Amino acid sequence: MKVKVDELVCEANAVCMGLAPEVFEVDDDDQLHILLPEPPPEMQDRVRHAIRSCPKAALSFEE
């Protein structure tokens, strides 16, 4: 799994960060950073949930 963000769509609402803070971080400038672009298998269900929960649908993943 590889996590991606569409920076033109992302509004840095930080929903993803609240659900998977090991993978997503919103900085003081309201920029989303993917800290772990290829999360380990034990985190993937939580990361999928975070991606589906994005209010702007700015997140995606590749298997």
Which domain CATH number covers 6?
3.30.70.20
- Say how far apart CA 43 and CA 21 lie, in whole Å: 11
| pLDDT score at 20 | 98
Domain interval for residue 15: 2-62
Phi first, then psi, for residue 25 (nearest 5°) are -145, 130
- Say how far apart CA 45 and CA 11 lie, in whole Å: 23
| pLDDT score at 61 | 96
> Residue 24: beta bridge partners?
34
User: What is the number of structural domains in the chain?
Assistant: 1
| Structure confidence by residue, pLDDT tens digits, 11-49 | 999 999 999 999 999 999 999 999 999 999 999 999 999
